[in-house]
Amino acid sequence: MTRYKQFVFSLSVAAAIFLTGCQPMEFYVAPQGNDNWSGKYVKPTGDGKDGPFATLERARNEIRSLKSRGVIKGPVTVFIREGIYSLSQTLKFGPEDSGIAEALVIYRAYGDEKPLLIGGKQITGFAQYKGNIVKTDVGGQGFKNIYFRQLVFDGKRQHLARYPNYDSQNPYGGGWAYADGKYLEMYKDVPGEDRHSFTCKQEDLHEWARPEEVEVFVFARYNWWNNICRIKSIDRSTRLVTLANDASYPIRPGDRYYFRNALEELDAPGEWYLDRQTWALYFWPPSPLEGRSVYAPVVRTILELGRGTQHITFRGLTFECCEGTAITLKDTTNCLITACTIRNVGDYNGSGISINDGRKNGVIGCDIYEVGSHGVAISGGDRKTLAPAENYADNNYIHHMGVFYKQGVGISLSGVGNRASHNLIHDGPRMGIMFSGNNLVIEYNHIRHMNLETSDTGAVYTGGRDWISSRGTMIRYNYFHDMLGYGQEKGQWVSPFFAWGVYLDDNSGGVDVIGNIVARCSRACIHLHNGRDTVVENNIFIDGNLQQIEFSGWTDTHKYWTNHLPSMIKGYEMVCNQLAWSHMRNMNLHPTNAVLPDRTIMAGNRFSRNIMYYSNSSSKYVRAHNLSFDHNSCDSNLIWHAGQPLLTGQKQVGKTISTNLLYNPGFEDGTPGAMPKDWLWQIRPTNTASAVLVEGNPASGKYSLCINAAFVKEKQRDNYPIIVSKDLQLEQGHWYRVAAKLKATKPETRAGLMIQSYIAKVYFWANWPNEVKVGPDWKDYQFTFKVPGPGEKGYNERMKVFRVRLDFPEDSGSLFADDISLTEVEMLDEWTSWQARGMDQHSVVADPLFINVEKEDYRLKSDSPAFKLGFKSIPVKAIGPYKDELRASWPIVEAEGAREKPL
């Protein structure tokens, strides 16, 4: 024990004596101990008659007994000596094992020693089987009827025999087979698709003695996460593989998978197979067995703190080798897991540590890696009353999680009033932190190189399909960078792909995103997917690949809105009358009243005093889809695109720079009952089809054009009325606006209003969009478009003559048109257009003056223009783990090839 640690421990002992008036009690556990001894000695006595206990169970039982007899009234510390403690059953603690606030019960490593708790047994007796493969009977070693699914060799988890083999040189993109068939677009639904079958390519279909034992590890359809499903049957004539249970989604052509758990596939170092009929274990050791140990799990959980347990701390221990979650805290209070290492644990459903309910429990300073699902999972608190649980994960180092479950994240944070702070999280298949709940705090975390195996993901992620998630949550002073993503693009698997930094998905609302640094995300630094009531302030966004900010809204007809509205109403009405919720931002709005006049939903978001810095010439500043500019704000930001144009996707018209270019635009020149002058048929589908002058719109003039429906179902094309103007001359590369007043005899009548140019069998061009829905009242419709110039899509050098065109593709009713105009207009650039919509009117375009961008030092120089906009310095040095005695290890070693991190 270092002098500093001795000093800290002495202080804690002195404090406990002062508060309780009782001397602390100490016990010792050592591999060379004996459970018949007193446990009061750090090592066996010279006469060999006394010494430490041999097991933690014995120490627990001794304390339990002494507490029940009133012997223990002060703090208790159990010192655990270095060595391996192999557990045949879960080590369980309950209320009877609790300490009190002034007198904790602590189980901790002795000094700097590193005791190892293994939830399994060692396997020995290997003999040569075939080639490099060895074999042993585990049934006679205590594993009979224990069908373990993990094997740990020399401290590393090994691969269940598989095809294709694991590719250590390309661990994420290699080692896959791909379902056969014609590629289907991911988001296109296919009626009748099942979720339990797929077609295998001929070269991937092998012969197995026990195909019913083989499992398929597959990413189905969306590539959000994977499933592990056992095979039910194989039709070799059609190569159809049928699974014993459904995957989460249909398995589509091109989806990646591998087969595992077949003896015939044991053909590479590190692979193994357990024969559950003979209990023989087959293994190809990746290095010589001599001097190295092999373990397999016999328990799902190593340490369990049950309901009502209080004031117990576990410190400085290593936990390894179990099928499920290594450490579980269920409805406990003030219990801590600190400075521990958790590794090589967990299956598809097994995490490193879980805190489920209870209050003020923490995971502090732990190293957690190579876990099946989440690194840490935290819940607790009351959603209705917003009573906080105050559970937390602080100062942890979490990496390589989600080994079996690819939705496994660094920290899963849910409930109310829980916290994730000062954690370093990297190298995982999906998000760094996934959260859902209320009044959560995500602060001072460093998350990098995540989303390595999935797409549609982020550094931190939440959804809001219940309307109330994750309101009240604070995301502040974090550093998120290099969010990659992996997925299919036009049938090819690619990376980086479709990942964000901060991802507020599916109508999530009421989240504050303050003072974060977000850099190098494959799609954008932040994404509000119909997010609402969000405050995004004082952040630094660096080099979003496609854009820096993304707003993706819904309309009232979007299937996400219509499908999830019932659950949103249910969530809102569950809490709307609770006093605690009256303080939540904009919770006075019922979901049924959320649709805006323009039929969009997203509202109440405020984006201000942020810095956007990016250099890729094709990257946009912002992408905004279905965003109401009247109900969301973006202003007082600092934007720098290295002197290049700021692209926003907005195209607003400036002033009109010509008169109406049409002949007879109001149809006033002509004879009633006939086609107006200077207008003619382009398609007259039948001889009886009519387009004639009739009495017009009283507000416009004497006449209007009436086109009567004449749809011919028997024809494949040219089967409905099309009326065109006299030929016009327009300038290539110039912008124009076509407008018209339209009405129809039926609501929701389809019509087309466009400009066209074509030479038969040479080229055809028309502006897009050009379709409208017309009702029984006169209404103005317009489209603004650019005539393609040289080098632009749709351009043809022979494009000289143009026409205004009216389409009426309905099979009944009439369409009326009046006051058609075609004018040349000034088109504003995208940045000016964005400002014309009311956005960023007080923002500044300038270099923010970072201290050293090349070394990723995003602190600002004193003369940065950001400060004049009210930007406040981000506490960069406080981000990430901090040096503390309650840490499993220090320093933290960055992964090979990682960038230099000034943070």
- Condensed to tens digits (0 to 9), the pLDDT of residues 420-452 reads 999 999 999 999 999 999 999 999 999 999 999
3-class SS of residue 672? strand
pLDDT at 902: 30
What is the tens place of the pLDDT at every residue in 702-750? 899 999 999 999 888 889 999 999 999 999 999 999 999 999 999 999 9
pLDDT at 21: 60
Q: Average model confidence (pLDDT) for the chain?
A: 94
Query: How far apart, in Å, are the Cα atoms of 829 and each of 281, 624, 733, 802?
Result: 69, 16, 14, 25
Q: Is the pLDDT of residue 488 over 80?
A: yes
pLDDT at 895: 37
Question: Judging by DSSP bridges, how do beta strands 487-489 and 457-463 pair with one another?
Answer: unpaired
pLDDT at 12: 53
Q: Is the pLDDT of residue 896 over 60?
A: no
**Residue given tokens 């000596």 in the structure block:** 81
pLDDT at 893: 42
Which sign does the torsion angle of CA 568, 574, 580, 583 carry? positive
**Residue given tokens 């709940």 in the structure block:** 437
Q: Is the pLDDT of residue 13 over 70?
A: no
Q: Is the pLDDT of residue 1 over 50?
A: no
What's the rounded mean pLDDT across residues 625-631?
Answer: 98
pLDDT at 718: 86
Query: Mind giving me the DSSP string for 237-305?
Result: TTTEEEESS--SS---TT-EEEEE--GGG--STTEEEEETTTTEEEE--SS-STT--EEEE--S-SEEE
Cα(322)–Cα(326) distance, integer angstroms: 6
Among the residue ranges 196-210, 308-322, 656-670, 882-896, the one predicted with the least confidence is 882-896
pLDDT at 564: 97
Which phi and psi angles does 818 have, rounded to 5°? -155, 160
Which phi and psi angles does 573 have, rounded to 5°? -70, -20
Q: Is the pLDDT of residue 17 over 60?
A: no
pLDDT at 336: 98
Cβ-contact 423, 445 below 8 angstroms: yes
Name the band, by pLDDT with cuts 50, 70 and 90, for residue 2: very low
Q: Is the pLDDT of residue 155 over 50?
A: yes
Q: For residue 293, is it left (φ>0), alpha (ψ between -120 and 50) or beta?
A: beta
pLDDT at 701: 82
* Helix, strand, coil share (%) of the chain residues, nearest 5: 10, 35, 55
Question: Judging by DSSP bridges, how do beta strands 303-305 and 327-330 pair with one another?
Answer: parallel
pTM recorded for the entire structure: 0.91
Query: How far apart, in Å, are the Cα atoms of 795 and each of 410, 727, 758, 767?
Result: 51, 18, 11, 12
With b for 16 or more beta-carbon neighbours within 10 A and e for fewer, the 441-463 pattern comes to bbbbbbbbbbbbbbbbbbbbbbb
Name the H helices within 814-900: 830-836
Cβ-contact 480, 432 below 8 angstroms: yes
Q: What angle do CA 650, 654, 658 make, to 5 degrees?
A: 135
Which phi and psi angles does 243 have, rounded to 5°? -95, 155
Residue, of 377 and 73, whose pLDDT is higher: 377
Beta-carbon count within 10 A of 139 CB: 16
Q: Is the pLDDT of residue 368 over 50?
A: yes
Q: Is the pLDDT of residue 891 over 70?
A: no
What's the rounded mean pLDDT across residues 643-667?
Answer: 96
| Residue 166 per-residue DSSP state | P
Q: Is 532 exposed, middle or buried (0-12, 13-18, 19+ CB in 10 A)?
A: buried
Q: Is the pLDDT of residue 900 over 90?
A: no
Query: How far apart, in Å, are the Cα atoms of 442 and each of 419, 429, 790?
Result: 6, 20, 51
Q: For residue 66, is it left (φ>0), alpha (ψ between -120 and 50) or beta?
A: alpha
pLDDT at 885: 67
What's the rounded mean pLDDT across residues 604-618?
Answer: 98
Question: Judging by DSSP bridges, how do beta strands 280-283 and 411-416 pair with one another?
Answer: unpaired
Helix (H) or strand (E) holding 797: none
**Residue given tokens 């087959």 in the structure block:** 282
| Residue 11 per-residue DSSP state | H
Q: Is the pLDDT of residue 414 over 60?
A: yes
Q: Is the pLDDT of residue 279 over 60?
A: yes
3-class SS of residue 83? strand
Residue, of 744 and 884, whose pLDDT is higher: 744
Tokens of 577: 């009358």
Name the band, by pLDDT with cuts 50, 70 and 90, for residue 63: very high
Helix (H) or strand (E) holding 17: helix 3-20
589 contact partners, CB below 8 Å, separation of at least 6? none
Cα(712)–Cα(749) distance, integer angstroms: 17
Which amino acid does the sequence have at 177?
A
Q: Is the pLDDT of residue 697 over 60?
A: yes
Query: Mind giving me the DSSP string for 547-587?
Result: EEEEEE--BTTSHHHHHHHHHHHHHHHHHTT-GGGGGSTTT
Cβ-contact 29, 52 below 8 angstroms: yes
Through-space distance between the first and last CA atoms of the chain, rounded to whole angstroms: 30
397, β-bridge pairs: 367, 424
Helix (H) or strand (E) holding 227: strand 226-235
Percent of the chain with pLDDT over 70: 96
Strand order in the sheet with 271-275: 127-130, 133-137, 280-283, 271-275, 159-160
pLDDT at 700: 77
Q: Is the pLDDT of residue 845 over 90?
A: yes
Name the band, by pLDDT with cuts 50, 70 and 90, for residue 696: confident
Q: Is the pLDDT of residue 545 over 70?
A: yes
3-class SS of residue 655? strand
pLDDT at 8: 45
